[in-house]
Amino acid sequence: MNLSLHHLVREPKIKNPDASGKNPLLLLLHGYGSNEEDLFSFASELPEEYYVISARAPFDLMYGSYAWYAINFDADENKFSDIGQARASRDIIAGFIDELVANYLIDAESVTLIGFSQGCILSYAVALSYPEKVQRVVAMSGYLNTEMAVDDFKDNNVSKLKIFASHGTVDQVIPVDWARKSIPALEDLGINVTYKEYPVGHGVAPQNFYDFKNWLQS
């Protein structure tokens, strides 16, 4: 199957018994410099009724590392994101969701993005830009950057969108304050947000995994 993003698939272990035979989707989006195998490592622990699909980001950093967009440094060593590449990836992911729905028995009304770090930032951008394609987001160790969303995202109806956001309190890569500032901005848009912090760095704590899994199943 030749889709726009290379990906790994765990088929649902419990098929939907209704006439459609369609199952919900968990789409995993990895962080900068990683690949599709990273988050897929816990696919076997995720709820059995879901398709679990892990996508590889489109920009190749070599040696099995990929990115959703470049992170550049200026002369003063300030980091900044390549917004053009991020917006391109945003639309690639949105199109990829359509491809998955067309090629697998996926329920288009039950799509969840699970993003870590850069994948989290893109998950926010996709969900705000195309809320008709995404119903839920698990946003781990990232933050909201509205520059990556479509220009008129505030006109979108995000009333059905639900977000589970989490962050490590000692994250040395993305400061926890960036995540904290994202929550009121999301709530101001009328989005239902659950936010949790864990005493860890830039990673997924076991309790974090347990909490978002419970949130998915509630």
H/E/C letters for each residue in 125-177?
HHHHHCCCCCCEEEEECCCCCHHHCCCCHHHCCCCCCEEEEEEECCCCCCCHH
The Cα 75–Cα 13 span in angstroms is: 52
Provide the pLDDT for residue 75.
64
Asked if pLDDT for residue 174 goes beyond 70, the answer is yes
Q: Are the CB atoms for 115 and 122 separated by under 8 Å?
A: yes
Provide the pLDDT for residue 76.
63
Q: Which H helix or E strand runs over 6? A: none
Q: Are the CB atoms for 60 and 68 separated by under 8 Å?
A: no
Mean pLDDT of 112-118: 97
Provide the pLDDT for residue 38.
95
Residues in the chain: 218
Percent of the chain with pLDDT over 70: 97
3-state class of 178 per DSSP?
Answer: helix
Provide the pLDDT for residue 1.
72
The Cα 192–Cα 165 span in angstroms is: 11
- Which of 133-154 are b and which e, b meaning 16 or more Cβ less than 10 Å from the residue's Cβ? bbbbbbbbbbbbbbebbbeebe
**Which of these CATH numbers, 3.40.50.1820, 2.60.40.420, 3.40.718.10, 1.10.1060.10, describes 7-217?**
3.40.50.1820
User: pLDDT, tens digit, for every residue of 45-89?
Assistant: 999 999 999 999 999 998 999 999 998 766 666 678 899 999 999
Provide the pLDDT for residue 62.
87
- Structure confidence at residue 160 as a pLDDT band (50, 70, 90): very high
Mean pLDDT of 119-148: 97
3-state class of 96 per DSSP?
Answer: helix
Asked if pLDDT for residue 14 goes beyond 90, the answer is no
- Structure confidence at residue 137 as a pLDDT band (50, 70, 90): very high
Give, as one character, the DSSP assignment of residue 201.
S
Of 10-14, 92-96, 169-173, which range is least confident? 10-14
- Tell me the pTM: 0.95
Mean pLDDT of 85-99: 98
Q: Give the E-state strand segments of the chain in sequence order.
A: 7-10, 23-29, 51-55, 59-62, 65-67, 71-73, 79-81, 106-116, 136-140, 162-168, 192-198
Provide the pLDDT for residue 77.
61
